[in-house]
Structure 1
Amino acid sequence: MRCHESGTPTAAMIFGKLLPREGNFFELFDQHAQHIVASAHAFAALVQHYNDPALREKYHRDVDAAEGMADTILREVNRLLHKTFITPIDREQIHTLINTMDDVADLMQDAAETMALYDVRRVTDEVVRLADLCVKSTERLKSAVALLKEIGDADTAAAALKTCEEIDQLESDADRVMRAAMSKLFREEPDVREVIKLKAIYELLETVTDKCDDVAKLIEGVILENS
C-alpha cells in the first residue's frame, strides 16, 4: 500500500508529463483579435476616403490582408487543438470562440467586397456611424479576449464581464442605427438600386456588431465556467 512513497514515478505520472499541454491558445486569440481590429479600422478608413478611388482600393486591400492573417491564426488554432491533449479551457469553447471571432473578420471583408461589387456611389452618414460602431465593438472585443488568460483572478473576470456588457450595448446601438437607416432609406431614396445596395451594407455592418456580441457571450460563458 506504500509502494508509491519511495518517489518512483508511476506510469500515470510519466504519461501525464508526456501529454502535450496548454498550447499558446490565449496568445493566438490575442493575435486574431488584433487582426479583427485592423480589419475594422481599414474598413472605416475605406469609408472615410471613399471618394478617392486609390485610397479606397488601398484600404480594401488592407481589409483583405487583415482577414487573411486572421484566417492564418484560425488554421493554427485548429492545428494546435489536434495536437494538444490538455487545453487551458474546454476544447469546444476554444473551437467555437475562434470560429466566431473569425466570422467577424469575414464579415468586415464581405462589407468591403459588397461595396466594391455593388459599385456603391455614395457613403451615407449611417454607413459612417455603423463603421464607427464596428471599430468600437472590435476594440472592446480585443480587450475582452486579452483578459481571458487571467480569468482565474476575480477582478480580471469582473473586468472581462464588464467589457462584454459594453459590447452588448454597442450591438444595441448599431441595431438602433440600422433601423433608423432602413426607415430613412425606404422613405427618401427614389432609386431602387441604391436601396438594394445600401440595405445590404447596413445589414452586413450591423451583423458585425451582432457577431462581436456573440463572441462576448462566449467569453461570458468561459468566465462563468472557469471562475
Structure 2
Amino acid sequence: MSLNSIFQYFVPKDKKVFFPLFEQAANNAVVMSTILVEAVNSNNPATREDLFKQIDKLENKGDEITHQVFLELGKNFITPFDREDIHALTSAIDDVADYIQGAANRMNLYRIDDYNDHIRKLCELVLQGSTELEKAVRELKDLRNVRAIADSCIRINSVENQADYVFDRAVADLFLYEKDAIRLIKYKEIYAALETATDMCEDAADVMESILVKNA
C-alpha cells in the first residue's frame, strides 16, 4: 500500500459524512417546528394529536442523526473542524429538536385546548430560529460565504431576544390573570420549553461563529 493510500484512509470524505448529517439534523428541526406551528394553529384536536405524533417520530430521527455524527467522530482521524465544535453544534441542534418535542409533548399530555397568542408567537420564533440555523449550517461545508453564516447567526440572536421578551410578557400575564394554579404551571412549562428551543438555536449560532473565527 502506497503512502498516499495510507494517508487517504485517514482523511474523511467530509462532504459525504459530517456536513450532510449537520444539514439533515438542521432540516429535521425546521420540519418539526413547521409542524408545531401547524398544530397550535389547528382547531381540530384529532389533527393536533396526529401532528404531535409526527413530531415525536421526527425527534427520534434527530436522535439517530446525532448518534451517527458521534459515531463518525470516533471513526475519523481528521475532521473538517475542531471535534469539540462538531460535538457542540450537533448537541445544540439536537437540543432544539428535544425542546420542540418537549413543548409539543406537554401540550398534548396537559390537554391544552387554548393556544393563545403567546404560544403561537413563540412557536413562530422557534420556526424562524430553526430556519436561520438551517441556512447557516448549509453554508458550513466550504466556508466561502462567511457573510451569509454571520448574518444568519445575527438573525438567530435577534429571534432569541424576541423570544425572551415574549416569554417574559407571557409569564407576567399568567401571574396577572390566571387564577387556576395548575393551569398556570402547565402554561409556564410550555412557554419555557419553547423559549429554551430558541436558546438552543442561539447556542448553535455561537458554535458556528466560533468556527468562523477559527477558520478565518
Q: Tell me if both proteins adopt one fold, taking TM over 0.5 as the criterion.
A: yes
1:36: which partner in 2?
Answer: 29
Q: Which amino acid aligns with 1:74?
A: T
Mapped to 2, the partners of 1:197 and 1:21 lie a distance apart of 47
Q: Which amino acid aligns with 2:171?
A: M
SS of match in other structure, 1:80: helix
Instruction: State how 1:127-206 maps to structure 2 within 5 Å.
Output: 127-151=119-143, 153=144, 156-206=145-195
Q: Deviations over 1:18-39 (max 9, x none)?
A: 3242442011101111100011
2:209: which partner in 1?
Answer: 220
Unaligned runs of 5+ in 1: 1-8
Normalised TM-score (structure 1): 0.90
Deviating beyond 3 angstroms after TM superposition, the runs of 4 or more aligned structure 1 residues are: none
1:92: which partner in 2?
Answer: 84
2:9: which partner in 1?
Answer: 18
Shift of 1:15: 3.2
RMSD: 1.3
Q: Which amino acid aligns with 1:84?
A: N
Instruction: State how 1:42-81 maps to structure 2 within 5 Å.
Output: 42-49=35-42, 51-81=43-73
Q: Deviations over 1:121-146 (max 9, x none)?
A: 31111001000101111000100111
Deviates further, 68-77 or 125-134: 68-77
Instruction: State how 1:107-122 maps to structure 2 within 5 Å.
Output: 107-122=99-114
Q: Deviations over 1:52-111 (max 9, x none)?
A: 121011110111122121111111111111111111111121111111110110111100
Shift of 1:14: 4.9
Instruction: Kindly indicate whether the alpha-carbon contact (under 8 Å) linking 1:36 and 1:138 is maintained by their aligned counterparts in 2.
Output: yes
1:5: which partner in 2?
Answer: none
